[in-house]
C-alpha cells in the first residue's frame, strides 16, 4: 500500500460552551489572564447528556454516513482516550454497536491510553496495520475522544471536549512520511489520574509545561538527525509549510514554536536569518535547564518567530482556541483547523505534527498533503467537517451554569442507577446522548 494516511475526517464537539472572558471575571482572575495569558477564547464542555462514548458514536456514525462508507468496509478500529468510564471495557466495544448492525464483528483494535497521546498511538496502529502483511484491504478507523475537566483552580480554564474520527487507508490526501518520525518517552509525574474516584487529574502545571517543552526539544533534535541522515541535508523550519502542536492552551503552542526556532539557531541551521541570530545570540551559552527558566529567552524567541508563527502555526489554532484542550483529540483538532482554513492551498506541502501525553510520551512526525480524489479530497474533508457551521451554532452558558454542570458531573462520575434529563434540545440532529445508567452500571444512549 502506498501513501497510507488519512482519507477522511469528522469532528464533533459539544454545542455547550463558556466564554473565557466571562469565566475569567467569574473566577476573579485578572483581566486577560485566560484570553491573553493562556491564549484561549472559549471552552466546550459536556453536559450530563454527553460523554466520550456519545461523542465518539456521533463522530463515527457521521463520518460513515457522509462518506457513504459501508460499515463492513472497516477492518480495524482504534480508540485513543484518557477519559476513564470503565477500567476494563473499552470505548471501542461501545462503538461496535454501529458495526454489529451490519453484520461486521470482524474488526481488530482496542483502546490506547496515555494522557493526550492515546490518539496518536491509535493512529500509528492503524497506519502500521495498513502498511503491514496482516492488512486485509479494508479501512482502518481511528477515534480520539475526551472530555477534559479540571478541579476548580488555575487549570480549570484549560479544559475542553471533542471527538474526532479519521478514516485510514492507501492513496490518502494526507499521507504519512513514515520514515520521518521520532519519539521521546520517559517517566514523569507532571499530570496523572491516580484517584479513580474522580474524573479530575492531579496536575503539576509548571512541571507539565517544562516536560512538554523538553519532550519537544528532544523529539525535534532526533527528528532533524533522522531527516539529515535520510536526505543528506539539514532540516529547519523552512522545510515544512506548517507545524501542528498538541494544544493544551494556545500560549504553550506559541512558546513551542519559538522553541523550535531557538533549536534551529543553536544548530546553526541555514534558514535562520541575521535578525534572529542577533536577537538570540545572548542566549547561546545557556544550559538546557537555564533555557527553560529564562523569561528573556522566551520573549526574544517569541519576537523573532512572530512572522513565521503567523504563517506556519496560526492557521492550526482556531479549534483549540475555541473549544479548549481536547486531550487526545487536541492535536487532530488543530490539524482539522488547518484543513478548514487552508484546504485549497495544501497540496504538495509538508506538515509536521507534535504529539504529547503527560507521564510522558511524545512523538514528532511528518505528513504530506495530496489533492486526493473525491470523496477523499482535502476540500471535501473541509466541507464535511463544517467547522465554521459547528462553531457558529453553539450555545454559550454563563460561568455559573458551567460550574453547576461540573458539580453535577462530579456527582455522576462513577455513579449508577440514574436517568439523565434526556434533554437534547441543544444538540443537532444525529447526535447521540446518554439517557440512563442502570443498577448494573450499564449505559444507554439514544440518537436525536
Ligand atoms: N493578562 C495577560 N496575561 C496574564 C495575565 C493577565 N492579566 N495574568 C497572567 N497572565 C499570564 C502569565 O504571565 C502566564 O503567561 P506566561 O507563561 O507567558 O508567563 C499565563 O498567563 C498563565 O499564568 P500563570 O500564573 O503562569 O499560570 P497559572 O497558575 O494560572 O496556571 C497552567 C497555568 C499551569 C497552564 C494551568 O492552567 C494548568 O495547570 N493547566 C493544566 C496543565 C497543562 O495544560 N499543561 C500543559 C501540558 S500537559 C497537558 O496537555 C494536560
| pTM > 0.80: yes or no | yes
Per-residue model confidence (pLDDT) at position 269:
77
Burial of 348 (0-12, 13-18, 19+ CB in 10 A): exposed
- Pocket of ligand 1 contains residue 203 by CB under 6 Å: yes
- Pocket of ligand 1 contains residue 31 by CB under 6 Å: yes
Per-residue model confidence (pLDDT) at position 271:
85
Please say if 246 is a catalytic residue.
yes
Determine contact, residues 330/270, Cβ cutoff 8 Å: no
Number of other CB atoms surrounding residue 181 within 10 Å: 17
Give the count of alpha carbons within 13 A of 160, CB side only: 30
CA-nearest residue for atom 9, ligand 1, is: 33
Distance of alpha carbon 309 from alpha carbon 254, whole angstroms: 7
CA-nearest residue for atom 38, ligand 1, is: 155
Give the residue from 59, 131, 75 showing the smallest Cα distance to 328.
Answer: 59
How many angstroms is it from 294 CA to the middle of ligand 1? 16
Distance of alpha carbon 431 from alpha carbon 97, whole angstroms: 15
CA-nearest residue for atom 14, ligand 1, is: 37
Ligand 1 atom closest to Cα of 327?
Answer: 50
Distance of CA 234 to the CA centre of its chain: 29
Burial of 206 (0-12, 13-18, 19+ CB in 10 A): exposed
- Pocket of ligand 1 contains residue 28 by CB under 6 Å: no
62 Rama sector, left if φ>0, alpha if ψ -120 to 50, beta otherwise = alpha
- Peptide bond before 353: cis, by omega within 30 degrees of 0? no
Helical spans, DSSP H, in 114-266: 118-131, 205-231, 250-266
How many angstroms is it from 325 CA to the middle of ligand 1? 13
Distance of alpha carbon 169 from alpha carbon 375, whole angstroms: 13
Ligand 1 atom closest to Cα of 34?
Answer: 21
Per-residue model confidence (pLDDT) at position 74:
98
C-alpha cell at 268: 546553526
Per-residue model confidence (pLDDT) at position 69:
98
Per-residue model confidence (pLDDT) at position 21:
98
3-state SS assignment for residue 10? strand
Distance of alpha carbon 84 from alpha carbon 90, whole angstroms: 9
Please say if 100 is a catalytic residue.
no
Please say if 345 is a catalytic residue.
no
Distance of alpha carbon 184 from alpha carbon 238, whole angstroms: 23
Q: How far apart are the first and last CA of the chain?
A: 39
| 322 contact partners, CB below 8 Å, separation of at least 6 | 17, 41, 42, 44, 391
State the catalytic residue, choosing from 10, 24, 82, 199.
82
Determine contact, residues 115/357, Cβ cutoff 8 Å: yes
C-alpha cell at 338: 488547518
Quickly tell me which residue has 512538554 as its cell: 212
C-alpha cell at 10: 469528522
> Would you tell me the crossing angle of helices 330-342 and 118-131 to the nearest 10 degrees?
70
- Pocket of ligand 1 contains residue 247 by CB under 6 Å: no
Given the DSSP bridges, would you call strands 191-192 and 202-203 parallel, antiparallel or unpaired? antiparallel
Distance of alpha carbon 208 from alpha carbon 213, whole angstroms: 9
Per-residue model confidence (pLDDT) at position 242:
98
- Pocket of ligand 1 contains residue 37 by CB under 6 Å: yes
Phi, psi of 168 (to 5 degrees): -115, 135
Mutation pick for ligand 1 pocket among 32, 33, 250 (CB with most ligand atoms within 8 Å): 33
Distance of alpha carbon 76 from alpha carbon 96, whole angstroms: 11
Q: Which residues of the chain have pLDDT under 70?
A: none
Ligand 1 atom closest to Cα of 255?
Answer: 18
How many angstroms is it from 38 CA to the middle of ligand 1? 5
3-state SS assignment for residue 51? coil
Ligand 1 atom closest to Cα of 330?
Answer: 50
- Pocket of ligand 1 contains residue 32 by CB under 6 Å: yes
- Pocket of ligand 1 contains residue 114 by CB under 6 Å: no
CA-nearest residue for atom 45, ligand 1, is: 208
State the catalytic residue, choosing from 42, 46, 116, 424.
116
Per-residue model confidence (pLDDT) at position 43:
98
How many angstroms is it from 137 CA to the middle of ligand 1? 46
Distance of alpha carbon 446 from alpha carbon 234, whole angstroms: 54
Number of other CB atoms surrounding residue 392 within 10 Å: 8
Determine contact, residues 388/340, Cβ cutoff 8 Å: yes
Ligand 1 atom closest to Cα of 252?
Answer: 46
Number of other CB atoms surrounding residue 367 within 10 Å: 22
CA-nearest residue for atom 21, ligand 1, is: 37
Amino acid at each position: 500500500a502506498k501513501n497510507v494516511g488519512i482519507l477522511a475526517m469528522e469532528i464533533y464537539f459539544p454545542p455547550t460552551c463558556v466564554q473565557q472572558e466571562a469565566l475569567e471575571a467569574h473566577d476573579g482572575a485578572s483581566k486577560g489572564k485566560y484570553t491573553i495569558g493562556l491564549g484561549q477564547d472559549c471552552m466546550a464542555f459536556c453536559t450530563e447528556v454527553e460523554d466520550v462514548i456519545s461523542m465518539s458514536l456521533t463522530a463515527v456514525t457521521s463520518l460513515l454516513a457522509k462518506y457513504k462508507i459501508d460499515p463492513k468496509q472497516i477492518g480495524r478500529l482504534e480508540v485513543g482516550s484518557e477519559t476513564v468510564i470503565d477500567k476494563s471495557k473499552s470505548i471501542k466495544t461501545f462503538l461496535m454497536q454501529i458495526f454489529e448492525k451490519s453484520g461486521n464483528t470482524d474488526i481488530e483494535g482496542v483502546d490506547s491510553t496515555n494522557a493526550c497521546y492515546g490518539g496518536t498511538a491509535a493512529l500509528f496502529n492503524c497506519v502500521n496495520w495498513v502498511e503491514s502483511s496482516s492488512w486485509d484491504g479494508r479501512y482502518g478507523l481511528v477515534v480520539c475522544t475526551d472530555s477534559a475537566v479540571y478541579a476548580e483552580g488555575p487549570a480549570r480554564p484549560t479544559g475542553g471536549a471533542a471527538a474526532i474520527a479519521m478514516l485510514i487507508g492507501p492513496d490518502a490526501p494526507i499521507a504519512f512520511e513514515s520514515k520521518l518520525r521520532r519519539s521521546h518517552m520517559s517517566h514523569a509525574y507532571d499530570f496523572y489520574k491516580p484517584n479513580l474516584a474522580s474524573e479530575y487529574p492531579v496536575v503539576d502545571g509548571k512541571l507539565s509545561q517544562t516536560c512538554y517543552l523538553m519532550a519537544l526539544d528532544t523529539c525535534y533534535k532526533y527528528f532533524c538527525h533522522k531527516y539529515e541522515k535520510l536526505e543528506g541535508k539539514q532540516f529547519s523550519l523552512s522545510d515544512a509549510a506548517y507545524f501542528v502542536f498538541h494544544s493544551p492552551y494556545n500560549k504553550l503552542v506559541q512558546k513551542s514554536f519559538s522553541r523550535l526556532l531557538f533549536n534551529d539557531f543553536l544548530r546553526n541551521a541555514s534558514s535562520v536569518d541575521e535578525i534572529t541570530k542577533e536577537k538570540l545570540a545572548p542566549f547561546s551559552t545557556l544550559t538546557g535547564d537555564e533555557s527553560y527558566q529564562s523569561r528573556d529567552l522566551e520573549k526574544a524567541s517569541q519576537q523573532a518567530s512572530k512572522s513565521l508563527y503567523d504563517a506556519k502555526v496560526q492557521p492550526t489554532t482556531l479549534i483549540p482556541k475555541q473549544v479548549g484542550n481536547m486531550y487526545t483529540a487536541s492535536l487532530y483538532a488543530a490539524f482539522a483547523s488547518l484543513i478548514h482554513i487552508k484546504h485549497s492551498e495544501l497540496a504538495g506541502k509538508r506538515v509536521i505534527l507534535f504529539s504529547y501525553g503527560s507521564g510522558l510520551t511524545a512523538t514528532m512526525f511528518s505528513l504530506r498533503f495530496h489533492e486526493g480524489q473525491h470523496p477523499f479530497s482535502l476540500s471535501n474533508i473541509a466541507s464535511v467537517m463544517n467547522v465554521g457551521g459547528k462553531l457558529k451554532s453553539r450555545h454559550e452558558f454563563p460561568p455559573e451554569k458551567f460550574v453547576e454542570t461540573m458539580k453535577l458531573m462530579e456527582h455522576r462520575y462513577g455513579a449508577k442507577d440514574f436517568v439523565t434529563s434526556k434533554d437534547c434540545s441543544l444538540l443537532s440532529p444525529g447526535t447521540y446522548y446518554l439517557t440512563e445508567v442502570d443498577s448494573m452500571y450499564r449505559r444507554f444512549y439514544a440518537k436525536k
